[in-house]
Structure 1
Amino acid sequence: MTQRIAIIGASGYTGAELIRLIATHPSFEIKALAANSKAGQTMAQVFPHLRHLDLPALVTWEEIDFDGIDLCFCALPHKTSQEVISKLPGHLKIVDLSADFRLRDPADYGKWYGNPHAAEEMQKEAVYGLTEFYRDDIRGARLVAGTGCNAATGQFALRPLISAGVIGLDDIILDLKCGVSGAGRSLKENLLHAELSEGTNAYAVGGTHRHLGEFDQEFSKLAGRDVRVQFTPHLLPMNRGILATAYVSGEADAVHDALTRAYADEPFLEVLPMGETPSTHHVRGSNFCHIGVTGDRIPGRAIVVAALDNLTKGSSGQAVQNANLMLGVDETAGLMLAPCFP
């Protein structure tokens, strides 16, 4: 059975990634593409690498006839996404890739994103879209809120360890490196080639990064107590990828065992042999996340390293994975493509 798909925000990086993945999906068909700022253009004009595909022209989202759509991906910036989604018809299944429905408490959204929540009633029905941990809820959801890409990477590394009780909860340090596409496609001075290349920098230092709201929410819920991780992201001059290094107190063998058991049956989460660590090269363009564990020279300390592609497993691939569940098709459909290397 063909599932009819619309994408709002198709002119951004995550929109293009959705189209790339859906192009080989066995049961999804793109019926409408919206990008208000580029309405009237073709996808070939906006993204020439997609010119081989037979795609509808870009329109404004208000022009889409949603009566003929089964599921809509919304790949808009935060705040804008709430405003648009609140106006979509009630029968429509929605996967939101923005931050607008990730935080269950509207007050937390206001704290981290600086403006009041504009769709509090819809927030009550939103399901957090970390697929491997909310699979059953996602299957029956109408609105799924995709996670932040940094938040997903850190959670894949740490959630099973918190659940298994094999690490201390008061001294978790998460050091994360991310590619420039995580900042979106809008023009920004600090992302110009001359500003970014041949260097790297930490940002949102000291606990100001917005994805901390997700870490606080999810880790505290898991532990049944307040958990606050120390988190610093770094921007690297690479297009795609996230590498997260977590420093934890706990025995390395127990940490590796907990991750191996948690992900034994997960198609997209690969735990490497003990002592091996992953590279962003090994997951580029794929829906896979690779996780490695090593011991530290300090007894009772372990290091967990997780790598994923921020545009795929960290965003659009996760969105398709959730849509598969929502529409009752094979969860891995359209997502088993191998990473692109080198």
Structure 2
Amino acid sequence: MDISGSVWFITCAVILGLFVFDFFAHVRVPHEPTFKESAIWSSVYIGLAIAFGFVVWWLWGGTFAGEYFAGYVTEKALSVDNLFVFTIIMATFAVPRQFQQKLLLIGIVLALVMRAGFIAIGAAAISTFSWVFYLFGLFLVLTAIKLAKEAGHEKEVEEKRDSRIIALVRRLVPTTEDYDGDKFLTKVDGSRAVTPMLLALIAIGFTDVLFALDSIPAIYGLTEQPYIVFTANAFALMGLRQLYFLIGGLLDRLVYLSYGLALILAFIGVKLVLHALHENTLPFINGGEHVMVPEISTGMSISVIGVVLLVTTLASLIKTRGRTSTPDSVSD
């Protein structure tokens, strides 16, 4: 897949333009989006992601399009797990609903910037050392085990993580417990102080780094093309803000989602190890020769990911049937 510098520039410009449009059209004036607004714009961004997949198909063929769609679905599923954490952060800092859009949009942009860095590092490592796939695969399997163990205890785990980083910030800079609109900095007795808005943004940014450590190796298990990795991540993150308000009331019902994501990460981890064995150059494995093992196709990957997400979602909704949404989940 040969991607010229001009294609990269145009792609980044379009993605940046969409985020700028999102800010001026929906976020600049603080408000809590209605269910209808969230549904419409979630559909728009999902539609754009699907349309881009067909552009990839048209320009570079069905194989790369399949890799893009597999990556997009995986990243979108992992981003839903982000929403659980965002909900915890918003509750921890008691962020008013009308200010949450600004936090989410800035947090998402920061997440994409950080992921771009991880993508570049991953691409450089893969092109230089084929054995990196062993590391990625092992890391994903260990992450899957950790995620499965933490399932059902996400709130406690996240609160511990946030408390450590926020405690450090509070020791380094003056902070205030009071909000000053949607400002990140305010003045207290004539001195600058950090508001809870900035503390919440720091917590979101720190969380984004942790999620990037999981998501980037996962998508490199589905494609080795940095362009596909980047665009799949970008389109998965776009519309995440609207999705937060759209399904906020359903998040507490997806009780088996973490188990499903753990299974997907483990599956991709195994896929990476098999690929590493197939491309093996390590002298202490099969004398440095390639190991003839079966490789998992993109079509099979999409099928497994889709079935796992469908089953865990349906099982979650059946398990929590009759459970009501939280009062502040959505606005009609």
TM-score, shorter chain, exceeding 0.5: no
**Higher RCO, 1 vs 2 (CA within 8 Å, ≥6 residues apart):** 2
TM-score, scaled relative to structure 1: 0.24
**More strand per residue:** 1
Q: Which has the higher helix share?
A: 2
Larger Rg: 2
